[in-house]
Amino acid sequence: MALAFFALLPREAASSDAGYAEALAERAVSKGLHDRREWHVLLHYRPALLGRYTSLVDDPAFFNSPSGKNDPREELIETIKAFFRADPDGDAHPQCRFIARYRWLSNELSIDSSKLPAPECKGYGELMQNMNPRSAVLVFPVSHINSPASMFGHTLLRIDSDRESTMFSFAVNYSAVTPETSGILFAVKGLTGAYKGYFGVLPYYEKIKEYSFLENRDMWEYRLDFSPEEVERMLLHLWELKDIYSDYYFFDENCSYNLLLALEAARPETDLLELLPPWVIPMDTVRAIKKTGMSSGEAQYRPSRASRIRHIEGLLDKGLRASALDLASGALDPNDLARDGAIPREKRAMALDLASEYVQYRYAKRKLPKEEYTSRYIGVLGARSTLGLVPPYDISAPAPPDDGHGPARLSIGAGFRDKREFASIKLRPANHALMDPQEGYLPGAAITFLEGEARYDFDGRGLQAERLTLLEIVSISPRDRFFKPVSWRVSADVLRKEDTGRDERRTISGLSAGMGLSYGSWPGALAYAFAGPEAKAGRRLDKGYALGAGVKAGVVGSITERWKAQLEFTALAFGPGDRHDILAVEFNQTFTTGKESALMLNLKREDFDGFYSTEAVLYWNRYY
């Protein structure tokens, strides 16, 4: 009898557990938990057609129901049942694997944990022990001027503990896994969602090393006004996303978009995604957290190594800058400079500081072998240690990125071309043109995406498409004795009108590129020159195409805080396909009238194969 009793006990218990699971599932559905925002946030559900929902997560391992991606109700039922599974044990058990859902449902349904298996969630426990989370920070590394892949910037999270230094904090990053970092294949696959995106956690100092030391990108840190409970809720959700992928799209479901989903898990009553346009750039996420009050304090500025070098460089005269270069190259003994009593002690110390920073910069850029680096760095530090302390370097922070204008722009203008008057309207979704107000943006860097212009000619021609630019990138990166970057530009027009002097202006498509050099510093002026090829296609070209090359040279800079000007010369010569030459000079000015508005005056004189034309147009720009 006793044997029969013990043989029956597990079966009865299992039956009881199954009944309890069914009851919980029925209660959850009757309470409408599958329609609750918290559930939608945890599963990344977004509205789809016909009143349905679909999850942005594409990995089947994220769901407990085969139809879970598109069925919040079925996923809720199967998730509750999964919590009662006897296997697998440990971190793989659904109670641990979907720990955020388990915590939320336990609270909503008052689940009696004694009736469920009790797996040990060792992995999550170790993560919490190592992180010891207390607060969170949104980090925005600015764009890398010479890298198209990073020209919109990036965002990541920093999880701080009670340790004094943030160097011991952890960074949470979302990125696409890709063997390519540039090129046409990279762009095509990124636009079509062919890459998989994953969340990753790593020490914050590794991200500082990557962005600040290797890529020379300044970083901005926005502390989030999260309570410790909200931070833990976010980490519970991130744990569920461990090794889970979503299809990565450059322009919407990208690094910044997915980071906002993690922030919503911390504070589900806040809908961050509704604040975003159809496309998402990292700066939009910063604006969203500021707008919703998730971050109310001032951003902290973390200058890159390049910014630090330029700052110290500016404190020294030409002779000491040359000495610092000689120290970094090994041409000058550090002890000779340290003992030179003719130079003030503080200046000698600064020159040695500059040399040590530059040696580290060259080693990070792999321009210095390790043995050489070690020898020079130790030599410079040894000499520097004999000169004592100098006042800390106070590197002025530029305007934070969230102080800049919105990425989208509507331009309404009026002007004339020779004796023909016209009205103009232009629209672009992103991001920043060279002549837009500078505050909050990297000087010399510009990227314009999908800008279209239509004009109404008052001479009877009426409304006509004037130009549609698919993409235009300009990277004017100044050179000096320490940095030798190459500037470049690329532009692709789907449609562009050319005034050839004939009755009808011809319509072409165009692609141009150029490499060049730039000198100067900001604020002030950047002088630049590009040379490169240009190709056109259009029915009214002699053979339907034209191939040529030319140069662009100019100077751009801020005259005052609100007044910006650019003078640019263009010389192009086309041979194969349609022989013609173009000479042009432009004088463009921008007057900032507010954070989100500006007036822009463009003047242009052009010689198209002997036909001269003059154009002047005044735009009112509204940014949003």
User: pLDDT band at residue 184, thresholds of 50, 70 and 90?
Assistant: low
Short-list 32, 31, 57, 23, CA closest to 42: 57
Question: Which DSSP string corresponds to 530-599?
Answer: EEEEEEEE-TTSTTSEEEEEEEEEEEEEEEETTEEEEEEEEEEEE-TTS-EEEEEEEEEEEEEEETTEEE
Instruction: Give yes or no for residue 39 having a pLDDT over 70.
Output: yes
> At residue 418, what is the residue type?
D
Q: Are 188 and 154 in contact (CB under 8 A)?
A: no
pLDDT in tens, 583-603: 999 999 999 999 899 999 999
Mean pLDDT lowest among 47-61, 174-188, 456-470: 174-188
User: pLDDT band at residue 9, thresholds of 50, 70 and 90?
Assistant: very low
What's the rounded mean pLDDT across residues 155-172? 92
What's the rounded mean pLDDT across residues 389-403? 92
Share of the chain above pLDDT 70, in %: 95
User: pLDDT band at residue 618, thresholds of 50, 70 and 90?
Assistant: very high
Burial 399-425, CB ≥16 within 10 A → b, else e: ebbbebbbbbbebebbbebeebebebb
Q: Are 564 and 589 in contact (CB under 8 A)?
A: yes
The reported pLDDT for the residue numbered 324 is 97
User: Which residue has better confidence, 32 or 281?
Assistant: 32
pLDDT in tens, 10-35: 444 455 577 899 999 999 999 999 99
Task: Show the tokens assigned to 465.
Answer: 């498409």
User: pLDDT band at residue 55, thresholds of 50, 70 and 90?
Assistant: very high
User: pLDDT band at residue 141, thresholds of 50, 70 and 90?
Assistant: very high
Instruction: Give yes or no for residue 181 having a pLDDT over 70.
Output: no
The reported pLDDT for the residue numbered 16 is 58
pLDDT in tens, 408-461: 999 999 999 988 999 999 999 988 999 999 998 888 989 898 999 999 999 888
What's the rounded mean pLDDT across residues 462-468? 94
What's the rounded mean pLDDT across residues 2-13? 39
Could you tell me the strand order of the sheet in which 246-248 lies? 246-248, 195-203, 170-177, 156-160, 135-141, 219-223, 300-302
The reported pLDDT for the residue numbered 67 is 97
Task: Round to whole Å and give the CA distance between 47 and 57.
Answer: 14
Q: Are 555 and 566 in contact (CB under 8 A)?
A: yes
The reported pLDDT for the residue numbered 2 is 37
Instruction: Give yes or no for residue 1 having a pLDDT over 70.
Output: no
What are the angstrom distances between the C-alpha of 365 and each of 215, 314, 356, 358?
A: 9, 22, 14, 10
User: pLDDT band at residue 159, thresholds of 50, 70 and 90?
Assistant: very high
Share of the chain above pLDDT 90, in %: 77
The reported pLDDT for the residue numbered 431 is 87
Task: Round to whole Å and give the CA distance between 568 and 518.
Answer: 13
Q: Are 478 and 518 in contact (CB under 8 A)?
A: yes
The reported pLDDT for the residue numbered 12 is 44
What's the rounded mean pLDDT across residues 66-91? 95
Instruction: Give yes or no for residue 151 having a pLDDT over 90.
Output: no
Instruction: Give yes or no for residue 150 having a pLDDT over 80.
Output: no
The reported pLDDT for the residue numbered 15 is 52
What's the rounded mean pLDDT across residues 380-396? 94
Instruction: Give yes or no for residue 613 having a pLDDT over 80.
Output: yes
User: Which residue has better confidence, 587 or 522?
Assistant: 587
User: pLDDT band at residue 365, thresholds of 50, 70 and 90?
Assistant: confident
Q: Are 358 and 482 in contact (CB under 8 A)?
A: yes
The reported pLDDT for the residue numbered 6 is 34
The reported pLDDT for the residue numbered 183 is 59
Task: Round to whole Å and give the CA distance between 296 and 403.
Answer: 14
pLDDT in tens, 229-267: 999 999 999 999 999 999 988 878 888 899 999 999 999
What's the rounded mean pLDDT across residues 73-87? 95
What are the angstrom distances between the C-alpha of 484 and each of 314, 319, 372?
A: 17, 19, 21
Mean pLDDT lowest among 22-31, 190-199, 464-473, 489-498: 190-199
Arithmetic mean of pLDDT over the chain: 91
Task: Round to whole Å and give the CA distance between 298 and 285.
Answer: 16
